């Protein structure tokens, strides 16, 4: 190749590369769309109600949950890291963008308050949630999930107002190893008795 031709080719390649880089820089950032999420979430309504509110106590309330947490759980259902045959079936058909749209829809709702029901264990539940159990090496739940159970976006989920039945089942799952997608919670749950799990789950239901 002659020197002049080589220079022309080099210039053309540089221009093409610059154009590609410039196009990449100007591409708008992804933004989750709650309206798209609502449409995608229609299949979720049978278990979670149309807006993720207070449906069956066996299923989680999704209203007001941090979107990062919801996306993480959907991704882990899809990958099998979190084991649930029903949720794996639904998540398998969702792209990461679909998951973000759905999460934005539920996160944009205001969670309805719940209430603790067992007056006999309310003090034990409060003690565990707010102070942990020092003798067993159990940290306070409030340390990560906040005094009102609001959680911390992108780090810890909202717990306040969640169905006690659902929270209890998840704690039992962590303890038994059937839910194995959070090593920290598995370690904590392994140190709790049935009564302690039931008490703190009921207490969490009344947080607001």
- Is 93 a domain residue? yes
Residue range 39-53, pLDDT digits in tens: 999 999 999 999 999
Domain boundary among 69, 84, 107: 107
CB 183 within 8 A of CB 106: no
**Average pLDDT for the chain:** 91
The answer to whether residues 60 and 163 touch, using CB atoms and an 8 Å cutoff, is yes
| Res. 167 pLDDT band, cuts 50 70 90 | very high
Confidence of residue 16 (pLDDT cuts 50, 70, 90): low
C-alpha 75/C-alpha 95 separation (Å) is 9
Q: How many domains does the chain have?
A: 2
Its domain, for residue 72, covers 34-107
Same domain, 103 and 134: no
């Amino acid at each position: 190749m002659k020197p002049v031709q080589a220079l022309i080719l080099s210039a053309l390649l540089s221009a093409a590369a610059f154009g590609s880089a410039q196009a990449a820089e100007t591409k708008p950032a992804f933004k989750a769309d709650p309206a798209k999420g609502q449409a995608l979430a229609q299949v979720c309504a049978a278990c979670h109600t149309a807006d993720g509110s207070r449906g069956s106590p066996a299923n989680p309330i999704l209203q007001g949950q941090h979107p990062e947490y919801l996306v993480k759980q959907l991704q882990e259902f899809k990958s099998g890291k979190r084991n649930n045959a029903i949720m794996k079936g639904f998540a398998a058909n969702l792209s990461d963008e679909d998951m973000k749209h759905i999460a934005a829809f539920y996160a944009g709702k205001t969670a309805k308050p719940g209430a603790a029901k067992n007056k006999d264990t309310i003090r034990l539940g409060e003690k565990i949630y707010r102070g942990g159990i020092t003798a067993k090496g159990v940290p306070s739940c409030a340390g990560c999930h906040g005094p009102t159970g609001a959680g911390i976006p992108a780090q810890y989920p909202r717990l306040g107002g969640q169905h006690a039945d659902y929270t209890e089942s998840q704690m039992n799952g962590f303890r038994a190893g059937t839910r194995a997608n959070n090593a920290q919670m598995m370690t904590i749950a392994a140190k709790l008795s049935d009564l302690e799990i039931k008490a703190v789950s009921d207490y969490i239901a009344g947080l607001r």
